[in-house]
Chain A
Amino acid sequence: MKETVIEILASIRPDVDFESAEGLVSGGILESFDLVSLISELSDEFSVTISAKELVPENFDSVDAIVKMIESLR
C-alpha cells in the first residue's frame, strides 16, 4: 500500500521526495488543492470514505500517517 500512496502523491506533486518528507500539511508542502486531489485519488484507489473528521494534519503529514489512516478506515 505504501508504494501506491507514494505513487499517488508523486503524480500530484512530482517535485517532492515523499519517501522522506515530513510535515506535508503542517509544514505547508501540500496546498489545499493538492489535498483535494489526494483525497479523491485515495478514496478511489482504496475504496474508503475520507470524511471531514479525518481531515487533521496528523493524518496527512507523512506517507506513514496516510497509510495508517487508510488502514483504520478499511
Chain B
Amino acid sequence: MKRNILEWFQKTVSDYPGKVAFSDTENRITFKELSLNAKAVGSAIAEISKDDTPVAVFSGRKIETVSAFLGVVYSGHAYAPVDATLPDLRIKSILETLCPKIVIADKDNIERARELGVNSEIVELESLFSHPIDEARLDDILEKSVITDPLYIIFTSGSTGKPKGVITSHHSLMCYIDAYTSVMGIDENDRLGNQSPLDYIAAVRDIYIPLKTGCSTFIIPKEYFMEPDRLFTLMNGEKITAVGWSVSAFTVLTSLGAFQSKKLETLNKICFSGSVMPSKVLKLWQENLPEAKFVNQYGPTEATASCTYYEIDRTVSEDEVLPIGKPYKNYRIVLLDENLKEVRKGELGEICVSGPILALGYYNDPERTAKSFIQNPCQNGFFERMYKTGDIGRINEDGLLEFHGRLDRQIKHMGHRVELDEIEYAASLIEGVKESCCIYNSEKEVLCLLYTGTAKVPEVAGALRKSIPGFMVPRKLVCTESIPRLPNGKTDMNKVKEFFLRNKR
C-alpha cells in the first residue's frame, strides 16, 4: 500500500522517465525533469523550514507550479496554493488563517507576495530549481511520513467573509484519484486537457493522474475557452483524450457556438462537475461525440472534490434531469433529516459523507470544523467522522442519488462555490451602502444585487472587485429605496427575484 503520493510519482518516474508529464502552449516537462525540479525545491525548503506548518505557493497557471507543489511535498509540508490575481483583502484573509512561515512565489508574483506576505520568508521558485538535491534528507522525510499527513489546503468561500481552508490528506487524495481513474478508464496512453486553475480543487485530477498513471496533462490557456474553434483546433493538435471540466466550461463554449464549424477528433472521456449540467448542453456534446464516455460527478471539496458519479448510458433528452448517481469506491453516503436520523427510502434528506476521503477539517478553524464534520449520528459503537454537505438529496427508484438544491444560501456559479451571504457582507462594508440582498439567476447564470444607500452602481461594483474574487462580483446591481420585506421582517426573496426579472437592464 502506498502512503504518500511521492511513492506513486517515483514509480512513474522510473517507468516513464523521458515521457512528457505536463505541457502548455510554451513549455513541456518530462517526468524525470519534474522529479529533479521537485527534489531541488524540496531540498531547499527542508533546509530552511523549522516546523511542519503549510507552505503557501503563489504561482501562475503553468507547468513550473506543479514542481513547486511537489517540491513542498518532498520537504514534508502541505502546500496551500494562493491565486495571486485575487483582491488584496481576500489574500490577506487567507494568509491570516494560514500564517505561513514560508512562501514560494514565481518570478511574476514575487513582488506581490512581498507586498502581502506577513512575517513569512519569501523564496523565488525559479531560483530553487538549481538548489543541490539532498537525497538522504528527502528519503528520511518520506520514510517518516504517514498516509494521513496533510497534502494540500484549498480555500473556498465562507459565509462570514472569511475563506475556509480545506485540508486534504495523501490518503484521501489517493482514494479519489484511484476511484476516478477506474471509473473514467484513464491509463498511461491518455492526454488530459486541464481547464481549472491550479489552485482550485478540480485541478487535483490533472495534477495527480499523470503522477499515478504516467499519462500527461496539457494546461489549456484560459482565453481558449472563449473561442471554441481555436480551442478545438488546439485540442485536436495536442491529441487530448480526456477532460474533467466544470459544467460552466461546457455551457459557455456551447453559448459561444461550439461544434458549429469545428469538430473534436480525439476527445473520448468527459467528466463534468461543479453544478447542474443543463441537458440541452449535454445533448449537443453527446451528439457531436457519440463514441465518448460522459460522467456526471457530484461532490464538495471537503470530500476530496467528489462523492458520487453517474455514467450517462444514453443520449439525454432536452428536459431530463440527470441523477448524481452512486458513491465512488471508498465513499459512503447517507441522507439525514433535521434530527440527524436517516430518512426513509425515497425521502429528501441532507447528503452526508463518510470514509477515508473526508478532509482533515478547516485549517486553524476548530469551530467551523466541528459544525460540519460530526460523529456519524447513526453510529454509537465507534468513532466515525461524517461531513454534512448542506446539499439535499433523494434516492430514486433505481437506487441512484438525485440532487435537490441547498439547505443554505450557497450557490454554484461558473463552477465556483459562492455564499450569497458573503457577497452581502462585502457590500455592507462599502461606504454608502446601507442594506443589500443578493440573489442568483441560475438560468442566466447571473448574480444580482439589490441595495439601498447613496453609493452609485459603478462605485459599488468597483469596491466589491477590491474585496471579493471577480466571479463573485454581481453583474446586475440595482439601487432601490427599500429592500422588500416579509411581515416577519425577513427579506422577501420572491419580490427581489421578480424585481430583477422586470428590470432586465
Contact = CB atoms under 8 A, between A and B. Distances in A.
A40 B255 contact: yes
Contacts of B255: 36, 39-40
B475 A55 contact: no
B350 interface: no
A31 B257 contact: no
A26 B471 CA distance: 18
Contacts of A40: 255
B227 A33 contact: no
Interface stretch (B294-302, B315-323, B454-462): B454-462
B198 interface: no
Interface string A21-32: 000011010011
A14 B475 CA distance: 8
A15 B460 CA distance: 8
Contacts of B226: 25, 32, 35, 55
Given A25-B226, A33-B248, A52-B228, A14 B471 contact: no
B260 A37 contact: no
B505 interface: yes
B258 interface: yes
A14 B228 contact: no
A56 interface: yes
A33 B252 contact: yes
B470 to A, nearest CB: 6
B146 interface: no
A37 B413 CA distance: 14
Contacts, number: 77
A51 B223 CA distance: 17
A47 interface: no
Given A33-B414, A51-B261, A13 B252 contact: no
Contact of B256 (A7, A13, A55): A55
B272 to A, nearest CB: 16
Contacts of B225: 32
B446 interface: yes
A52 B260 contact: yes
A32 B471 CA distance: 10
B280 interface: no
B457 A14 contact: yes
Contact of A36 (B223, B230, B256, B261): B256
Contacts of B446: 37
B256 A35 contact: yes
A14 B461 contact: yes
Given A11-B476, A25-B226, A53-B261, A31 B256 contact: no
A34 B475 CA distance: 8
A13 to B, nearest CB: 7
Contacts of B28: none
B441 to A, nearest CB: 11
A48 B222 CA distance: 27
Given A11-B505, A15-B458, A15-B462, A57 B257 contact: no
Interface of A: 7-8, 11-15, 25-26, 28, 31-37, 39-41, 50-53, 55-57
17 contacts: A7-B505, A8-B505, A12-B475, A14-B458, A14-B477, A15-B465, A28-B223, A32-B225, A33-B248, A33-B252, A34-B475, A36-B251, A39-B255, A51-B257, A52-B229, A52-B256, A55-B228
Which 9 pairs, one residue from A and one from B, show the smallest C-beta to C-beta distance? Answer: A52-B257, A15-B461, A14-B461, A15-B462, A52-B260, A36-B255, A14-B457, A14-B458, A55-B227
